[in-house]
């Protein structure tokens, strides 16, 4: 296969129309003499499609041209993705010293970073100051005192709470002040002589309710005016994350973009001079990632009827097919620990799901921990020991949280991209 290669990057370029399944099957065979071999032929691996990241970013620019992207590094701090986004002119939401350092080392300037963690470790805040990162969030008086002490020239963005009940991950119990706390907090900031420049919210990740953005933007408008009345130059609105990023989202991005555009036109029109930013993570990364894993063992158990769960109980099948993969919730399928629905069922790599009979099945990860359950009581085509399966939507918040438990490490990453983005790659990752 054609490649784009530099000393620190190797991307397999595929022809438009080639399926990820075909690309993954080629990788599994390990036959290409010019590609480095996997350590073991049955090892798992990720595929990151850089073309998907570029396509998402183009879609954002088309539908929300006036909302600047501060990519949430936490969703996937892969250096290649970060460099690609730097090349595309994006800015970054960092939550820690390490994330800030990484983004700066990869070439972003300090004014392209928001330190979007309302509770900052003091040494990390000092680091931000040393590096010239000024934009940051807060939501308590306590944090204001810390900022006054450590980084008094910071430009502060007050994070408010506005939760979407449909979001898979909600943050309101952990971050964000309530509407009635805004004035007292801004008054404290004023007394301390700090510079508050705007307001942020995060409706929760993987929202399926675009209208929540209309409500949140409308709710924010009078809070902005409180800031202005206290003498702050309120010039920034941060819409946070929450945008859909899956291959098949419940609500598509265009619906979110439409609601946001209308709400901004009404409450923060261009004439208001307010800079609008957002911190998408899931949106740019989730569907760009695929994981290929191997079925290392299989067992067919008789099921005690009392142990059956709803989803298996169709028909009289008294057995459950149990599989063990060489990736589990600790080593690459980590999103599963936080949300049982985080992934769709994997597909056998060599043939699509529809070609085999479905069996009541459970898939475990490889570790000794009984929580290492990838899918419990689902209907899957029968798999064989030794075959590979393909997971999609693996690009966000899953590799990020992996550890080496039981010696099953994070699988390596192979980058792929459609040939059409070769020019973008050449520009962003020059061969030197």
**CB-nearer residue toward ligand PLP: 241 or 249:** 241
- 240 contributes a contact to ligand PLP by CB under 6 A: yes
Q: How far is CA 69 from the centre of its chain?
A: 14
Q: Is the Cβ of residue 331 or residue 398 nearer to ligand PLP in the bound state?
A: 398
Kindly tell me which residue out of 243, 321, 323, 415 binds ligand PLP, with binding defined by CB under 6 A: 243
Does the protein bind ligand PLP through residue 72 (CB under 6 A)?
yes
> Which 3-state string (H, E, C) describes the chain?
CCEEEECCEEEEEECCCCCHHHHHHHHHHCCCCCCCCCCCCCCCEEEEEHHHHHHHHHHHHHHCCCEEEEEEHHHCCCHHHHHHHHHCCCEEEECCHHHHHHHHHCCCCHHHEEECCCCCCHHHHHHHHHHCCCEEEECCHHHHHHHHHHCCCCEEEEEECCCCCCCCECCCCCCCECHHHHHHHHHHHHHHCCEEEEEECCCCECCCCCHHHHHHHHHHHHHHHHHHHCCCCCCEEECCCCCCCCCCCCCCHHHHHHHHHHHHHHHCCHHHCCEEEECCCHHHHHHHEEEEEEEEEEEEEECCHHHCCHHHCCCCCCEEEEEEECCCCCCCCCHHHHCCCCCCCCEECCCCHHHCCEEEEEEECCCCCCCCEEEEEEEEECCCCCCEEEECCCCCCCCCCCCCHHHCCCCCEEEEEEHHHHHHHHHHCCCC
> Residues 45, 46, 162, 283: which binds ligand PLP (CB under 6 A)?
283
Q: Which positions from 201 to 220 touch ligand PLP by CB under 6 A, shown as an x/- string?
A: -x--x---------------
Single out the segment in contact with ligand PLP by CB under 6 A; choices: 31-39, 239-247, 299-307, 327-335: 239-247
- Contact with ligand PLP (CB under 6 A) among 44, 249, 280, 346: 280
Least spacing, CB of residue 300 vs ligand PLP, in Å: 39
- Piece of 59-67, 80-88, 211-219, 238-246 that binds ligand PLP (CB under 6 A): 238-246
Distance CA 277, CA 69 (A): 6
Determine whether 368 is an active site residue.
Answer: yes
Q: Which of residues 306-335 bind ligand PLP (CB under 6 A)?
A: none
Q: Which region among 276-284, 329-337, 372-380, 404-412 touches ligand PLP (by CB under 6 A)?
A: 276-284
Least distance in angstroms from the C-beta of 107 to ligand PLP: 21
Could you tell me which stretch among 15-23, 38-46, 274-282, 326-334 binds ligand PLP (CB under 6 A)?
274-282
Residue 311: Cβ within 10 Å count: 11
Closer to ligand PLP by CB, 200 or 294: give it: 200
Q: Find the shortest distance in angstroms from Cβ 244 to ligand PLP.
A: 9
Task: Choose, by CB under 6 A, the member of 44, 198, 249, 281 that binds ligand PLP.
Answer: 281
Q: How far is the CB of 412 from ligand PLP (least distance, A)?
A: 24
Task: Say if CB 84 and CB 52 are below 8 A apart.
Answer: no
Which stretch in 33-41, 222-230, 234-242, 347-355 sits in contact with ligand PLP by CB under 6 A? 234-242
Catalytic residue among 177, 368, 401, 403: 368
- Comparing CB distances to ligand PLP, the nearer of 138 and 324 is 138
Looking at the Cβ atoms of 12 and 287, the one nearer to ligand PLP is 287
CB atoms within 10 A of CB 65: 10
Nearer to ligand PLP, 46 or 243 (CB): 243
Q: Are strands 113-115 and 135-138 parallel, antiparallel or unpaired?
A: parallel
Q: Residues with Cβ < 8 Å from 256, sequence gap 6 or more?
A: 207, 210, 213, 243, 244
Piece of 1-9, 279-287, 302-310, 400-408 that binds ligand PLP (CB under 6 A): 279-287
CB-nearest residue to ligand PLP: 241
Range 81-120, binding ligand PLP (CB under 6 A)? 93, 116
Told to check if 170 binds ligand PLP by CB under 6 A, we report no
Query: So which residues are the catalytic ones?
Result: 368
Residues that bind ligand PLP (CB under 6 A): 72, 74-75, 93, 116, 202, 205, 240-243, 279-283
């Amino acid at each position: 296969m054609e490649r784009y290669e530099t000393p620190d990057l190797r991307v397999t370029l595929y022809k438009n129309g080639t399926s990820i399944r075909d690309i993954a099957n080629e990788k599994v065979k390990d036959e290409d003499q010019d590609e480095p071999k996997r350590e073991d032929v049955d090892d798992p691996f990720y595929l990151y499609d850089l073309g998907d990241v570029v396509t998402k970013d183009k879609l954002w620019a088309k539908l929300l041209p006036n909302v600047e992207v501060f990519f949430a590094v936490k969703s996937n701090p892969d250096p290649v993705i970060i460099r690609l986004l730097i090349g595309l002119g994006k800015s970054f939401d960092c939550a820690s010293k390490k994330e800030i350092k990484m983004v700066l080392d990869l070439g972003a300037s300090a004014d392209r970073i928001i330190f979007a963690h309302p509770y900052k470790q003091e040494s990390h805040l000092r680091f931000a100051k040393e590096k010239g990162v000024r934009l940051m969030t807060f939501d308590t008086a306590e944090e204001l005192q810390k900022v006054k002490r450590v980084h008094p020239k910071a430009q502060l963005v007050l994070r408010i709470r506005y939760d979407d009940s449909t979001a898979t991950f909600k943050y309101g119990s952990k971050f964000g002040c309530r509407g009635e706390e805004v004035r007292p907090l801004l008054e404290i900031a004023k007394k301390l002589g700090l510079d508050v420049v705007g307001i942020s919210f995060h409706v929760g990740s993987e929202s399926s309710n675009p209208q929540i953005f209309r409500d949140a933007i409308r709710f924010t408008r009078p809070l902005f005016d409180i800031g202005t009345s206290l003498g702050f130059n309120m010039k920034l609105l941060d819409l946070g994350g929450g945008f859909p990023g899956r291959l098949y989202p419940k609500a598509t991005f265009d619906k979110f973009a439409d609601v946001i555009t209308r709400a901004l036109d009404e409450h923060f029109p261009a004439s208001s001079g307010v800079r609008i930013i957002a911190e998408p993570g899931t949106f740019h990364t989730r569907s760009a990632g695929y994981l290929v894993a191997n079925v290392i063992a299989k067992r067919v158990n008789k099921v005690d009827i009392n142990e059956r769960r709803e989803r298996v109980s169709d028909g009289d099948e008294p057995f459950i097919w149990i599989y063990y993969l060489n990736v589990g919730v600790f080593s690459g399928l980590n999103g599963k620990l936080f949300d049982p629905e985080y992934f769709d069922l994997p597909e056998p790599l060599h043939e699509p799901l529809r070609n085999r009979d479905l069996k009541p099945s459970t898939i475990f990860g490889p570790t000794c921990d009984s929580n290492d359950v990838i899918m419990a009581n689902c209907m899957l085509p029968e798999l064989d020991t030794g075959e590979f399966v393909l997971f999609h939507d693996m690009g966000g918040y899953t590799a990020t949280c992996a550890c080496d438990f039981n010696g099953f490490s994070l699988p390596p990453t192979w980058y792929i991209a459609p040939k059409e983005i070769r020019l973008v790659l050449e520009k962003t990752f020059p061969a030197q």
